[in-house]
Structure formats: C-alpha cells, structure tokens
Amino acid sequence: MRTRQFKSESKKLMDMMINSIYTHKEIFLREIISNASDALDKLYFRSLTDTQIGLKASDFQIKIEIDKENRIISVSDNGCGMNEQELDKNLGTIAKSGSFDFKEQNEKAENVDIIGQFGVGFYSAFMVSDKVEVRTRPYDSDKAYCWKSCGAEGYTIEECDKDTFGTTVTMHIKTDTDDEKYSEYLDQYRISALIKKYSDYIRHPIKMEFTTKKPIDGKENEYEDVVEFRTLNSMVPLWKKSKSELKPEDYNNFYKEKFYDFEDPIKYIHTHTEGQATFDALLYIPKHLPFDYYTKEFEKGLQLYSKGVLIMEKCSDLLPDYFSFIKGLVDSEDLSLNISREMLQHDTQLKLIAKTVEKKIKSELEKMLKTDREAYEQFFRSFGTQLKFGIYNNYGINKDVLKDLLLFVSSKEKKYVTLKEYVDNMKEGQENIFFASGESIDKIELLPQCDAVKDKGYEILYLCDNVDEFALMMLSEYDGKKFINVCDQSLNLDSDEDRKVLDDENTAAKDMFEKMKATLNNNVNAVRFTNKLKNHPVCLTSEGAISLEMEKTLNAMPGDENKVKAQTVLEINVSHPIAQKLKELFANDTDTLEKYTKLLYSESCLIGGRSIEDPAEHSKLICELMTK
C-alpha cells in the first residue's frame, strides 16, 4: 500500500498541530463533532427530497466511545460518509487554507493565531492523538474505506469493512507528558463537560456510553458496572434559547467555534423578530479584521437556516457591503427548505429580513457609540474604513445611513470625534467644517496651512485614510456645514480688508508670478501671495475637485495609466522676507529668480508630502546656494 503525501500546506499545518503548544487543545472534540454534525445535516438534507433515503430526523446521531485501556476515543456518525476520492481530497488537503501563505510558525503567538484564524477542523485531532483512523462509507455505497495517519509523514487509504454507513473517527490519544495530561480526554466526565461547553446546541443527539457503578441489590458494599447511553447535549440551537438562559460566554464560545475566531467578539446581537418577517438572528461584530478580509477569497454573508436546518453557509443578500464584517446567522420559519440560490435573490421575505438585520446592526452600533465609546472606537479602528467606503460607494446612496457612525481624529484633543460632535463644538460664526489630509497625523500637523486655521480657534479633522476625502466629498456637507480642505484655495479666513490688501499685492506682482509659473513649466496653475501662512515661506494648495491627497490615492491605484492631476497653486507667504527677496530678484536678477522659484516649489512639495520631480537638480541648486 502506497503512503500518500499531504498537500504541502496541509503538511505544514499538520506539523503545527502535532507540535502544538496551543493551550486550547480541547477544541479538537468540537471540531470532530462539528464535522459529524455537518455530515448528518448533509444526509438529512438529501433525505428531504430523496424519498429513497428512508430516514427521519430523529434517526441521526453522533456516538462517542472511550476505550481507556487502549487510549482510544472515537466519534461516529450515520451521516453522508465519503467515497475514496472524497476521503483523499477532504483529508489530504486542508480545506480553509485558500491562498494563504503559511509563514514558518514557530513563535507561540503566531501558532495561536493561525489555529484560531483557520477552521483547522479535522487536523486538530493531531493535537491530542499520535494516530488517527477514519473509517467511512457513503450512504449509497457498500464499499468502505479507512484513512490512517500518524502525522506529517503522510497517510494511507485502504478498503475496509464497515457494517453501517457514515463515519467513525478513531483517535489514539498521546501518552501523558510532564506538561500535558492527555489522559483527561479519556475521562467520560471531562468529555461530557466539553460537549456541554462547545457542542450543546448541535441539533443531533450526541450520545456516550456511560459506565457507572451501581450497588448490587441485597449485597452490601458490592457494586456492578452499569452501561447506558446518555445524550449529552440539549440539542436546542443557541439562538432558539431565551436570552435569560444564556451567559455572555455561551454566545462568545459559540461565536469562536462557528466563525473561526480566537477572540471574543466586541458585541453580540441576539434578536427575535415577528411581524412581516419572522426570524431569529444572532449577529456578531468581530474585534479585528478577518485575515482574508481584503483578499478575493473573502465572502460576506450570514448563515441562513430554515426552521433550524442550515440551508446556506454564506447568504450574501443578508448583508449590505458596508456591514460585510458582520458574522452570524438568521433562522426563519418563512423560508422553504429547498429554496435555490437564484430563487432566494428574489425572495421578498429574505429582502425584508435583510432590511431588518441592517437596521438592527445600525442601531446597535449607534447604541455602542453612545454607551460604550471605548468599544466603539476599537470597532471603528478595525472597520471604520468599510463604513467610509459605504458612504462613497453607489454614488452616496447610503450616506445618510452611515454618516453618524463616522469618527475622525480632531486637532483639538487628537481624539476621535463624530461629525455631530464637531458641529456642536463649532465656534460662533464658524460656517464650515475644516479638514486636512495626509499620511499620518504627525505629517498633517506639519502642514503650514493648518496653523492659520488653528490660530483662529477652529478645530480641524485629520484624515489619514485614503478613502476619507472621497467619503467627505460624497457627503459634501453635514448639518448644512460644508467640508473645506485647509489646503484648498477656497479657504478664506480673512476679513474683507485684509483680503483687499492681499489682492492688491497679487495684482502688483502679476508679471513676476507669470514668469515663475513659466519657470515651473506650468507644473502649477498659478503662483500667488498668501497671508494664511504663519512662519512658513511657502505651501502648495489645490483648486477644484481633486485635492493633493486624492491625487496621490488615485494614482496609487493599479491599472489606470492616465494619471490624474490636482490643480495646484504655489502660495508664498506675503509677510515672509522671501516675498521681498523675490520682488527684488524679479527687478534685477531673473536668473536667480528662476533658481529660487524651483527651490521654493520643491520645498512646497516636500512639506506637502509629495516627492520632487528632479531631486538631482534640487540638490545642485541647494549646494550652489550653500557655497555662495
């Protein structure tokens, strides 16, 4: 018999499992039971349409047997089973790996991480066993096969005997070490406690042979072993239980098991809705982004159940894109069990459910924002970008749903504020909402343009996320207050009088500015004096719809060869000595004026966080100045 090799990713994962220092080894049992339960569901589902399968819901069960002496625990089900190809495919490859690139997982922290993030499922058996056997027979076949493996070296598959259809997973439990008492997994009370903890809601009975000692009638101090099968789980799905019965850890354990997370969620939402649509929903807001959130493998959606039976693993129609990070499930009495994916899309009932789910999520987020700011901010750090995309996408159709969920760091206390808080805090007479954007808060604070706005006592929203400005552009105003970029030409904080003085200065220097603009090969739309810079000599501002930061973002996107260009203006501080110097040079020494113009333009680019076009020339000009 040939030893088959695991697919390479599976082999690495297997290595990890065998040498795992993961502290929650006990989860192997819930993984094996959850596979058994899925197999029962699959066959039950088939039996609903195929009357040849003469099985009732109550015929399905999971059986656990413990053989303490031989250190074996086995889990059997009478579910769909696997044929030889399926066995090879399903247990020779790890299902959930996707295109994830396995790093060498030696560090403890990473080890925990990876086990938590994958639904590593079946392989977790190797955390506690040194040998695993899977005997399986499909419902409609008389051939059974046995898969065996002692670890990363590979596995074998051979034909075997099996009287009944379904699958038995036999785990040979490792011997105890100083650190690890594997024998606990051979203790019937420990096992039944684990089932209560992790698998209580499984819809099918999980039965175990219990051996108890009973006194023998009429004989004092004499006992006999009595063997009985007990059902260990309550079989009521968690979401069907009343809230008062459940503790936060019940919800959290369920979440971690079902949705492959290693951390508790930030929040769970358990609701029962009656009326036009009747359904139970259990929704979770995760603490952090799923590892594959920004890959094409990520699929949004909620599990969809009809009367307690899973009919779809990821029903994407139940979640709008901007809430795609929500995990959870919906169970409705109103949906037919064998509804197809295509039919679902047009199902009015499903649409009603989706609307209700969306409203519920929104109101819970609003509640969290009001009552638990810290948790909300943590949530926003993980998923705020998604909400901002939600505002921007589809031409802003959802902006009103989402605008009050946004947070931006503000210049006042460098803390998150909502748009409402900003507006409530506005100074007397302030008509606009000011913002500034850049790579980081530190860099934004260095922007010369911020000083003037702050000096006037206005608060500025700091935008560091690429999507921020696009989202604000889509909103265009909040509560009647327009959003104004401090780096935009339209920023006007001057009194009419000051404005007039500046206009006169600009008119007088018109020819000089034309000359400077020509020197810069028309890289800027205009050159002007400004009085909004405190101590800085120059800055670069933009006019029109595209700001300097938006230009950067748009041009960083892959694919598009046609680069966009913001319309820029080189602004020179009218009160800075450089202004006078330029005027003198224009009158006497236009050669030097050209050089200074180039230098000032480079400076303005650098301050604004852009790169300069010709660094070699820039450096040459600087050295020339230094050696003068």
Smallest separation, CB 251 to ligand ADP (Å)? 21
For residues 53 and 554, which CB has a smaller minimum distance to ligand ADP in the complex? 53
Smallest separation, CB 200 to ligand ADP (Å)? 19
Q: Which two tokens stand for residue 431?
A: 């008509």
Binding site residues, ligand ADP, CB under 6 A? 31, 35-36, 39, 77, 79-82, 90-91, 95-96, 119, 121-123, 167
Smallest separation, CB 120 to ligand ADP (Å)? 7
In the numeric block, the tokens 């890959």 are attached to 295
Smallest separation, CB 609 to ligand ADP (Å)? 45
For residues 81 and 116, which CB has a smaller minimum distance to ligand ADP in the complex? 81
CA dist., res. 464 & res. 486, Å (int): 14
Specify the DSSP element, H or E, that contains 223: strand 223-231
CA dist., res. 20 & res. 406, Å (int): 41
Strands 477-478 and 460-463, by their bridges, are: unpaired
For residues 313 and 333, which CB has a smaller minimum distance to ligand ADP in the complex? 313
For residues 117 and 183, which CB has a smaller minimum distance to ligand ADP in the complex? 117
CA dist., res. 600 & res. 594, Å (int): 10
CA dist., res. 138 & res. 161, Å (int): 13
For residues 82 and 128, which CB has a smaller minimum distance to ligand ADP in the complex? 82
CA dist., res. 321 & res. 404, Å (int): 17
For residues 90 and 316, which CB has a smaller minimum distance to ligand ADP in the complex? 90
For residues 42 and 595, which CB has a smaller minimum distance to ligand ADP in the complex? 42
What region, left, alpha or beta, does residue 457 occupy, with left being phi > 0 and alpha being psi -120 to 50 degrees? left
Distances (CA, A) of 232 to 122, 563, 598, 607: 21, 64, 80, 68
CA dist., res. 203 & res. 205, Å (int): 7
* Residue nearest ligand ADP, CB atom distance: 121
For residues 4 and 362, which CB has a smaller minimum distance to ligand ADP in the complex? 4
Partners of 285 in beta bridges? 267
Smallest separation, CB 276 to ligand ADP (Å)? 35
Closest CA to 215 of 206, 205, 226: 226
HSE of 575, CA atoms in CB hemisphere, 13 A: 8
* CA 574 from centre of chain: 49
For residues 90 and 141, which CB has a smaller minimum distance to ligand ADP in the complex? 90
For residues 148 and 536, which CB has a smaller minimum distance to ligand ADP in the complex? 148
Smallest separation, CB 177 to ligand ADP (Å)? 26
- Pair 571, 538: CB distance under 8 Å: yes
Smallest separation, CB 131 to ligand ADP (Å)? 17
Exposed/middle/buried for residue 526 (C-beta within 10 Å: 0-12, 13-18, 19+)? middle
Smallest separation, CB 36 to ligand ADP (Å)? 5
Smallest separation, CB 86 to ligand ADP (Å)? 7
Q: Which two tokens stand for residue 259?
A: 């949705």
* CA 453 from centre of chain: 36
CA dist., res. 225 & res. 230, Å (int): 15
Smallest separation, CB 35 to ligand ADP (Å)? 3
What sign does the CA torsion over 12, 290, 409, 547 have?
A: positive
Closest CA to 170 of 118, 134, 219, 117: 134
What sign does the CA torsion over 323, 328, 331, 336 have?
A: positive
Smallest separation, CB 32 to ligand ADP (Å)? 7
For residues 139 and 380, which CB has a smaller minimum distance to ligand ADP in the complex? 139
Smallest separation, CB 140 to ligand ADP (Å)? 14
For residues 146 and 582, which CB has a smaller minimum distance to ligand ADP in the complex? 146
For residues 90 and 231, which CB has a smaller minimum distance to ligand ADP in the complex? 90
For residues 88 and 445, which CB has a smaller minimum distance to ligand ADP in the complex? 88
SS3 at position 541:
strand
Smallest separation, CB 235 to ligand ADP (Å)? 18
SS3 at position 478:
strand
Q: Which two tokens stand for residue 378?
A: 């943590």
Position 581: which residue type? K
CB atoms within 10 A of CB 623: 10
CA dist., res. 95 & res. 261, Å (int): 16
Smallest separation, CB 232 to ligand ADP (Å)? 18
CA dist., res. 566 & res. 551, Å (int): 6
- Pair 577, 465: CB distance under 8 Å: no
CA dist., res. 525 & res. 83, Å (int): 71
